[in-house]
Amino acid sequence: MQHSNPLETALFSLTEDSDAILADLEKMLSIDTCFPPGNGYGAFADLITGLLSPLGWSFERVSVPPALWQTADGSAQGERVNLIARAPTDAGEHCNLYFHVDTVPAGDGWSCPPLALTQRDGKLLGRGSADMKGTIVAALAALRAAERYQLPLRFKPVFLLCTDEEGGLYPGIRYLAEQQLFSGHLLSFNGGAVPRIWAGCFGSLDVAIHIEGRSAHSGDPVGGINALEAALPVMNAIYSLKQQIEQRTSALPSPPHWQGKPLVSRLTLAAAHSGSKGSTLPHRCELLINRRYAPEEQFDQVWQELEHCLKQAADLSPALSVSWHLIGHLAPVSDPTGPHWPRWQAALSRGFGFEANDFAAWGSSTSSDMGWVQQAGIQEILLGGLARPDNHIHAADEFTTMQDIVSLSQSILAYLAADFLPT
């Protein structure tokens, strides 16, 4: 369908671009970028380079130095390849479109192959389809439409395709920001297909705890130390601290589904691994805890509180040793609003059909690597994406839909286009 307005023609064309969208999504899902370990970043950078090269884009590959991201537990492996892709346009102001290319591990319970595209009942299933390879597909479709109809752009698009958002000590976007490898405002696609004005989010710590015992026969345990039982004082101390921490509230406005209840700080005992068979005392127990801390809390105080708790618990445990290591850290985000938000809000309305009075400002106790971007000096961060409450992000049978990808693509194209007039 042709419109008298070239921008409207380009926007409509995205509804007919399903073959290319599906082909791109299929290629992206097939590359294993699960973190941990994070071995597929180089291959994914190769794929994006091949997809954008026909549009004349230029590329810069930036690897995070291993000393910054390697952890004591060895869970992170492989080169941390981040890709900066720049459009060949004379538009002056830069708009940085941020995507994390890693996904959580596939996990159990899938009804289809997790690292492949499956179409079923109107859903596009696969690990990363919504979080967040589908958003990269949407942005690619938008830029292809702009090229197809020779649309002048208000902003120079710069893609930042980054590593280790799903965990790790040093997310790729942190390194790019601290090295000042991009400038201008940032549009993050680590959000949802909802009429939301981002108010910020909590920080997150992942701490690995190791309890050492001494193996022995469970029927004749003389001299043995059961590491799993020795972990009980540690787990009890963590649970006791949890009760205190989760009484603390944040001034961040809570999401609509919280029904007016305040956001609270959190401490979670997330994993416990020990033992192999009933006839043997386990010699080692490994715990993983996660601490979500509000923008009002200071990292140093959060860490000191955790360490104090663990040191006291270690003194009560019969273990040979209790040790802990920080293996992941995302800083909180505080007030990311700025002058470009009204235009992005109007662009989201154009793509998804939102009304102006649908929008509300709210934060979350989930976390983002955008806190590091703010600490590096870039305050304004727009937010969009494909997440919805029911599309199984981080769970089995993660999915998005063609309608949401097209709607997000239309929003991106409208925002970037010089002829888009927000109302």
277 CB-side CA count, 13 A: 5
Cis amide bond preceding 132, omega within 30: yes
Instruction: Write down the mean pLDDT value for the chain.
Output: 96
Measured CA to CA, the distance from residue 101 to residue 39 in angstroms comes to 11
Coil, strand or helix at 93: strand
Q: Is the pLDDT of residue 216 over 80?
A: yes
Q: Is the pLDDT of residue 34 over 90?
A: yes
Q: Is the pLDDT of residue 4 over 80?
A: no
Q: Which residue has the higher pLDDT, 89 or 177?
A: 177
Q: For 288-341, how does the pLDDT look when each residue is reduced to its tens digit (9 = 90+)? A: 999 999 999 999 999 999 999 999 999 999 999 999 999 989 999 999 999 999
Confidence of residue 1 (pLDDT cuts 50, 70, 90): low
Q: For 105-145, how does the pLDDT look when each residue is reduced to its tens digit (9 = 90+)? A: 999 999 999 999 999 999 999 999 999 999 999 999 999 99
Measured CA to CA, the distance from residue 171 to residue 163 in angstroms comes to 6
Measured CA to CA, the distance from residue 310 to residue 322 in angstroms comes to 8
Confidence of residue 92 (pLDDT cuts 50, 70, 90): confident
The per-residue pLDDT for 3 is 61
Confidence of residue 237 (pLDDT cuts 50, 70, 90): very high
Average pLDDT over every residue of 389-410: 97
Q: For 255-282, how does the pLDDT look when each residue is reduced to its tens digit (9 = 90+)? A: 998 999 999 999 999 999 999 999 999 9
As given in the structure block, the two tokens for residue 71 are 């952890």
Instruction: Report the topology of domain 202-330.
Output: Alpha-Beta Plaits (3.30.70)
SS3 sequence of 180-202:
CCCCCEEEEEEEECCCEEEEEEE
Q: Which amino acid is at 274?
A: S
CA angle centred on 386, ends 384 and 392, rounded to 5°: 135
Measured CA to CA, the distance from residue 131 to residue 244 in angstroms comes to 32
DSSP class per residue in 247-268: T-B-SSPPPGGGTTPPPB-EEE
Q: What is the DSSP letter of 168?
A: -
Q: Does domain 6-200+333-416 have CATH number 3.10.450.50?
A: no
Q: Is the pLDDT of residue 423 over 80?
A: no
What residue spans define the domains of the chain?
6-200+333-416, 202-330
Nearest to 286 by CA among 313, 322, 252: 322
Q: Residue 53: phi, psi to the nearest 5? A: -55, -40
Cα 94 versus chain centre, distance:
23
266 to each of 33, 272, 365, 367, how far by Cα in Å?
A: 28, 18, 8, 12
Put simply, whether the predicted model's pTM sits higher than 0.85 gets the answer yes
The per-residue pLDDT for 75 is 86
The per-residue pLDDT for 167 is 82
Q: Is the pLDDT of residue 79 over 60?
A: yes
Average pLDDT over every residue of 137-166: 96
How many residues belong to the chain?
Answer: 423
Helices (H) and strands (E) in the chain, counts: 12, 17
Q: For 38-59, how does the pLDDT look when each residue is reduced to its tens digit (9 = 90+)? A: 999 999 999 999 999 999 999 9
Q: Is the pLDDT of residue 2 over 60?
A: no
Average pLDDT over every residue of 350-357: 96
Measured CA to CA, the distance from residue 371 to residue 368 in angstroms comes to 7
As given in the structure block, the two tokens for residue 396 are 């089995």
Confidence of residue 238 (pLDDT cuts 50, 70, 90): very high
Measured CA to CA, the distance from residue 366 to residue 202 in angstroms comes to 6
